[in-house]
Amino acid sequence: SFTLKNDSEATLFVESLKLFILGESLGGVESLVGIPAFMTHACIPKEQREAAGIRDGLVRLSVGIEHEQDLLEDLEQAFAKIG
């Protein structure tokens, strides 16, 4: 997991990924990405989320069985889009 500046940056980053799939489940073999503030923790008030370290820009990855270099390249191109 890592935190970007804000929810807009996190959303752009996630939308820019090509290999990672947006998802909350960790039961498969594919790489997943999520923004906990808008997915798993959406029902928790923002103040409580932030007190727990779950900021709007937090991005969570679950790495699957894809080739390591492919995943790194996907992350690099998404980071490039957010500057």
Q: What is the CATH number of the domain that holds 64?
A: 3.90.1150.10
Quote the number of domains for the chain.
1
Q: pLDDT tens digits for 44-55?
A: 999 999 999 999
> Token pair for residue 73?
């390249």
Confidence of residue 26 (pLDDT cuts 50, 70, 90): low
> Token pair for residue 76?
């690099």
Q: Give the domain range for residue 16.
A: 2-82
Q: pLDDT tens digits for 47-78?
A: 999 999 999 999 999 999 999 999 999 999 99
> Token pair for residue 77?
């191109």
What share of the chain has pLDDT > 90, as a percent?
84
Provide the whole-model pTM.
0.83
Distance CA 24, CA 15 (A): 15
CA 1, 29, 13: angle at the middle one, nearest 5? 35
How confident is the model at residue 40, as a pLDDT?
A: 85
For the chain, first and last CA: distance in Å? 18
> Token pair for residue 83?
């500057």
Residue at token pair 């935190």: 3
Confidence of residue 19 (pLDDT cuts 50, 70, 90): very high
